[in-house]
């Protein structure tokens, strides 16, 4: 059934199916091309008559996933320039004061979109929440340091989307004072940064960070080095005029090639911190939009009034190592080399991780180490640094793919959060447990609604909800490996 709503930009036609009404592809800013390319997001367009909002809008230019990742993650491409758009699912536009859930997608800041099927917000709307899923500029267009352009344009897009929600969500039944911003991977890293950004203050009252926190930015000098290399690759100057002269597809191809080069050269030390971050196009510390390391700002009190739900999966890095067949080539020497590069006490770390998993291979121990360094520890540090009430979880259920070796990998929990297991088998394998999806989705709904997901805050006991075949709270899981990184990560 068609449903029409009026906002400041004009009238929108959505669709109601069963108990959920959706409005798709709503522009929250003008198309970021032509004179708007590499500019801060500009006010959204207006229109006469009724605009259809019944299909996903354009997706931002992106490098795309390659095998084997492309077999695990869906990456739809919707052509068009009006890529700064968002999707809304609501119980009823006639409602008032409903809590709002805004999802920021992941994809290492170079991939992803709000058109990914698993991000359908119907289950949240079914349960009384207005769900919003946004796009933002990716790669060089969103995050490269470009002379003459504002810094961190992708983050400015996210702020513009949240401002649009503040100004318009009431027309869809939502309360702009009850906004929870949530995301996974690069989406969660974005939220960790938004918590520290002056420009994002007051735009949300709760935040859910899945597999990303407050450590994932690079220095301005590293960002400049990446942009210089990209400019050299396409034969232009590293400024608005130079990059603006390069066709979008050509620049995307050059970003993909540069990413491959950085990955290959990173172990030599040629790219500094990118040897650890492995994301050449991500937010960088510019002193204004991103004033300093987000974790540092959070520790100083930024975002202290925002309720937090933070967590990771048990074997995050299996996603990056197992499908590529890397783990079988890892021996103890390579494991020790990685620990040394991360700054750990190598002997103590080997002993701690081996004690935790006595039968694990060096490759499996490396997964545990990299999961802790890149995901688990940054999540815990944000909670520990800010004080106040925060809830922590760990997702432990293991995918059946790759003979079970994919484990509780990165991105696995998203289908459970969205209660969308029917769209998740590319990563879960067959037969994921619906009861776990219902439990996890309900925790997210409860947190969005009233700030309490159903277990005790982290606190002095370091309480963590373990979501798995048997879910329950565990105090200070893997304390020994947490402690050995103290002062390091």
pLDDT at 260 over 90: yes
Rounded mean pLDDT of 183-211?
98
pLDDT at 256 over 90: yes
Q: Look at residue 164 in the predicted model and tell me its pLDDT.
A: 98
Query: Tokens for 154?
Result: 């992708």
**Tens digits of per-residue pLDDT, 316-350?**
999 999 999 999 999 999 999 999 999 999 999 99
Q: What whole-number distance in Å separates Cα of residue 428 and Cα of residue 417?
A: 13
* Three-state secondary-structure class, residue 90: strand
pLDDT category of residue 399 using cuts at 50, 70 and 90: very high
pLDDT category of residue 386 using cuts at 50, 70 and 90: confident
* Helix (H) or strand (E) segment spanning residue 176: strand 174-184
β partners of residue 13? 4, 52
**Tens digits of per-residue pLDDT, 106-117?**
999 999 999 999
Strands 174-184 and 206-210 turn out to be parallel
Query: Tokens for 47?
Result: 């229109």
Neighbours of 261 (CB within 10 A): 15
pLDDT category of residue 278 using cuts at 50, 70 and 90: confident
Sign of the torsion formed by the C-alpha atoms of 39, 43, 44 and 46: negative
Choose which CATH entry (3.40.50.1980, 3.30.70.380, 3.40.50.1820, 1.10.3720.10) describes domain 2-219+283-299: 3.40.50.1820
Q: Look at residue 389 in the predicted model and tell me its pLDDT.
A: 84
| Mean per-residue pLDDT of the chain | 97
The percent of residues above 90 in pLDDT, for the chain, comes to 98
Residues catalogued as catalytic: 185, 316, 410
Q: Closest Cα partner for 60 from 93, 97, 86?
A: 86
Q: Where are the domains of the chain?
A: 2-219+283-299, 220-277, 314-484
**Tens digits of per-residue pLDDT, 280-299?**
999 999 999 999 999 999 99
Strands 130-134 and 85-90 turn out to be antiparallel
Q: Closest Cα partner for 117 from 31, 59, 158?
A: 59
Rounded mean pLDDT of 428-435?
96
pLDDT at 171 over 90: yes
pLDDT at 387 over 80: no
Q: Closest Cα partner for 365 from 411, 400, 334?
A: 334
β partners of residue 239? 147
The CA–CA distances, whole Å, from 312 to 133, 222, 256, 412, 413 equal 21, 27, 27, 10, 9
Q: Look at residue 388 in the predicted model and tell me its pLDDT.
A: 74
Q: Look at residue 124 in the predicted model and tell me its pLDDT.
A: 98
The DSSP symbol for 279 reads: -
* Helix (H) or strand (E) segment spanning residue 395: strand 390-395
The structure's pTM equals 0.97
């Amino acid at each position: 059934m068609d449903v029409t709503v009026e906002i400041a930009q004009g009238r929108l036609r959505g669709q109601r199916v069963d108990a959920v009404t959706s409005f798709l592809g709503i522009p929250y800013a003008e198309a970021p091309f032509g004179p708007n390319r590499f500019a801060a997001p500009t006010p959204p367009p207006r229109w006469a008559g009724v605009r259809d909002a019944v299909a996903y809008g354009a997706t931002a230019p992106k490098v795309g996933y390659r095998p084997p990742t492309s077999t695990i993650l869906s990456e739809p491409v919707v052509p068009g320039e009006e890529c700064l758009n968002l999707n809304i699912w609501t119980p009823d536009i006639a409602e008032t004061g409903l809590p709002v859930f805004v999802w920021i997608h992941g994809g290492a800041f170079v991939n992803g979109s709000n058109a990914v099927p698993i991000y359908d917000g119907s289950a949240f709307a079914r349960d009384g929440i207005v769900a919003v899923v946004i796009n933002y500029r990716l790669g060089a267009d969103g995050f490269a340091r470009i002379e003459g352009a504002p810094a961190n344009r992708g983050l400015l897009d996210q702020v513009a989307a949240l401002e649009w929600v503040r100004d318009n969500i009431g027309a869809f039944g939502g309360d702009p004072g009850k906004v929870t911003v949530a995301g996974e991977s690069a989406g969660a890293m974005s939220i960790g940064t938004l918590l520290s950004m002056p420009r994002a203050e007051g735009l949300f009252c709760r935040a859910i960070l899945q597999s990303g926190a407050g450590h994932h930015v690079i220095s301005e000098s590293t960002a400049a080095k990446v942009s210089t290399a990209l400019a050299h690759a396409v034969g232009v100057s590293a400024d608005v005029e130079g990059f603006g002269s390069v066709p979008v597809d050509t620049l995307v191809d050059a970003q993909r090639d540069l990413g491959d080069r950085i990955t290959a050269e990173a172990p030599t030390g040629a790219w500094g911190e990118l040897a650890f971050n492995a994301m050449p196009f991500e937010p960088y510390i510019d002193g204004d939009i991103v004033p300093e390391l987000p974790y540092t700002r959070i520790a100083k009190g930024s975002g202290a009034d925002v309720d937090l739900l933070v967590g990771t999966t048990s074997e995050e890095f299996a996603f990056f190592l197992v499908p590529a067949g890397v783990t079988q080539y890892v021996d103890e020497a390579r494991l020790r080399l990685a620990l040394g590069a991360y700054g750990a006490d190598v002997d103590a770390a080997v002993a701690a991780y081996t004690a935790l998993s006595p039968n694990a291979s060096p490759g499996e121990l490396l997964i545990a180490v990299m999961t802790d360094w890149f995901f688990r520890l940054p999540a815990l540090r944000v909670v520990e640094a800010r004080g106040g009430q925060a809830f922590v979880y760990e997702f432990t259920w293991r995918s059946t793919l790759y003979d079970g070796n994919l484990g509780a990998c990165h991105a696995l929990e998203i289908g459970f959060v969205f209660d969308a297991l029917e769209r998740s088998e590319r990563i879960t394998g067959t037969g994921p447990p619906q009861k776990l999806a219902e439990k996890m989705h309900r925790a997210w709904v409860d947190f969005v609604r009233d700030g309490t997901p159903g277990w005790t805050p982290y606190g002095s006991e370091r309480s963590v909800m373990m979501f798995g075949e048997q879910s329950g709270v565990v105090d200070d899981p893997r304390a020994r490996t947490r402690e050995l990184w103290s002062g390091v990560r």
